[in-house]
Amino acid sequence: MRILIDIGHPGHVHLFRPFAQEMEKKGHHILFTCRQKEFEIELLEAAEFKYISFGRHYKTTLGKIFGLFKFNIQMFFNAIKFKPDVLLSHGSIYAAHVSFLLKKPHVSMEDSGNMEQIRLYLPFTKVVLTPFELPENLGEKQIRYHSYHELAYLNPKYFIPNNKILRILGVSKNEKYAILRLVSWDATHDIGQGGLTVNQKEEIVGFLSSKMKLFITSEGNVPDYFKQYLIKIEPAQIHNVLSFADLVVSEGATMASEAGVLGTPTIYVNSLARCYNEDQEKYGTVFNFRDGTNVFEKVKELANGSLKQKENHKRILKDKINLTSFLVWFIENYPKSKLIMKKNPEYENRFKINNGLYSK
């Protein structure tokens, strides 16, 4: 089988990495396509995947419209050369449009519910795989499962934290540290949205840096005062960083969820709610705020309390399925797999994570 996977965000590389590795072991051929937004290329190269980059993504509205035509054309001609049997993505408009032109199925993962994107790809997509908690009803094409995208690569079958990251960070064994994740607010779904104000960020930075070691990771530029805290690691090491952190404050939904499934107490600050972050709140790993109001109080509470939530982490693993193993089965057996899931949604229980141990 030949599978083209389109990447629109660094998190998508993580999402599909174990799937691609499993499929390549089985003899399938994988090609990644991407636009360079942040660390996509570095992550693809670290995993030694075959990929094609279509250049930098566009940030302005006019640029995004131009990019829709440009990237569709680039993907179309590269897909003709690769001859995929199926196209796979996380809500890629380009993969959906090209799959329609090639008369090949497009399978989309979706956990964000960004309707401005969904409306553009759904008519050209055969199946949309979504978490059970996603509130949007996407019709007959939607198949729900009990998991988070982050568990596709952060469950114990695929990820074991490496404490060598502490030496790289310059953190001693018993020294506490926190992560502050800032976003650039230039994605289409970020229009009209917001998180922490400048004053709120400064207040949090001042407090956390006085209590423990602080590292900042940011999609865009930061004030001069923050630059001393910018983290200096290879992008592929970020999950080790999150795993050993004592606290994460994030405007980004993906990193908040990643930290949460690793059992690290996390505060998510964004006016745009995400179903997976809200679901993690019932496990006590992610605390959701629509703006910066009262965030500082929560930061102080968590920083002064018992931070690690590993028991909550185990509860998550017990309740969810191994999304990568489910996806491998689904793609290898498509379209029969779609019919199976429609007829018997509980079939997903074959892919349960049991206390961190995968069982078929």
Task: Tell me the pLDDT tens digit for each residue of 12-61.
Answer: 999 999 999 999 999 999 999 998 877 899 999 999 999 999 987 766 77
Query: Which has more confidence, 219 or 40?
Result: 40
With a cut of 70, say whether residue 211 has pLDDT above it: yes
Considering the domain architecture, whether residues 256 and 289 belong to the same structural domain is answered as yes
Please report the pLDDT score of residue 80 as a whole number. Answer: 97
Residue 264 counted as domain residue: yes
Considering the domain architecture, whether residues 140 and 198 belong to the same structural domain is answered as no
Considering the domain architecture, whether residues 302 and 341 belong to the same structural domain is answered as no
Residue 157 counted as domain residue: no
With a cut of 80, say whether residue 357 has pLDDT above it: no
Residue 159 counted as domain residue: no
340 falls in which pLDDT band (50, 70, 90)?
Answer: very high
With a cut of 50, say whether residue 359 has pLDDT above it: no
Q: Which has the closest alpha carbon to 299: 188, 182, 209? A: 209
Among 125-134, 192-201, 323-332, name the one with the lowest average pLDDT: 192-201
With a cut of 50, say whether residue 278 has pLDDT above it: yes
355 falls in which pLDDT band (50, 70, 90)?
Answer: very low
Do 129 and 146 meet the contact criterion of CB atoms below 8 Å apart?
Answer: no
Give percent above pLDDT 90 in the chain. 75
| AA letter at 327 | L
Considering the domain architecture, whether residues 276 and 192 belong to the same structural domain is answered as yes
Across 45-101, the runs of DSSP E, i.e. the strands, are 51-56, 86-90
Considering the domain architecture, whether residues 170 and 147 belong to the same structural domain is answered as no
Residue 333 counted as domain residue: yes
Please report the pLDDT score of residue 66 as a whole number. Answer: 73
CA pair distance 125, 108, nearest whole angstrom: 7
Strand 29-36 relative to strand 106-109, pairing: unpaired
Please report the pLDDT score of residue 57 as a whole number. Answer: 72
360 falls in which pLDDT band (50, 70, 90)?
Answer: very low
With a cut of 50, say whether residue 336 has pLDDT above it: yes
Give percent above pLDDT 70 in the chain. 92
CA pair distance 164, 171, nearest whole angstrom: 10
Please report the pLDDT score of residue 174 as a whole number. Answer: 86
With a cut of 70, say whether residue 193 has pLDDT above it: no
Please report the pLDDT score of residue 319 as a whole number. Answer: 92
Enter the DSSP assignment of 352: B
Residue 331 counted as domain residue: yes
Domain of 302, in residue numbers: 164-317
Please report the pLDDT score of residue 68 as a whole number. Answer: 80
117-122's contacts with Cβ under 8 Å and 24+ in sequence apart are 117/91, 117/93, 117/188, 117/189, 118/91, 120/93, 120/96, 121/91, 121/92, 121/93, 121/95, 121/96, 121/97, 122/96
Work out how many domains the chain is built from and give that number: 2
Considering the domain architecture, whether residues 309 and 344 belong to the same structural domain is answered as no
Considering the domain architecture, whether residues 197 and 262 belong to the same structural domain is answered as yes
With a cut of 70, say whether residue 259 has pLDDT above it: yes
With a cut of 50, say whether residue 356 has pLDDT above it: no
Considering the domain architecture, whether residues 146 and 43 belong to the same structural domain is answered as yes
Residue 134 counted as domain residue: yes
Considering the domain architecture, whether residues 313 and 327 belong to the same structural domain is answered as no
Please report the pLDDT score of residue 14 as a whole number. Answer: 94
Query: Which has more confidence, 241 or 112?
Result: 241
Q: Look-up: residue for tokens 């089985």?
A: 26
Considering the domain architecture, whether residues 241 and 327 belong to the same structural domain is answered as no
CA pair distance 323, 335, nearest whole angstrom: 18
Arithmetic mean of pLDDT, 265-293: 93
Arithmetic mean of pLDDT, 180-192: 65
Please report the pLDDT score of residue 311 as a whole number. Answer: 72
Considering the domain architecture, whether residues 8 and 123 belong to the same structural domain is answered as yes
With a cut of 90, say whether residue 1 has pLDDT above it: yes
Considering the domain architecture, whether residues 201 and 289 belong to the same structural domain is answered as yes
CATH number, domain containing residue 228:
3.40.50.2000
pLDDT digits (tens, 9 = 90+) for 72-107: 999 999 999 999 999 999 999 999 999 999 999 999
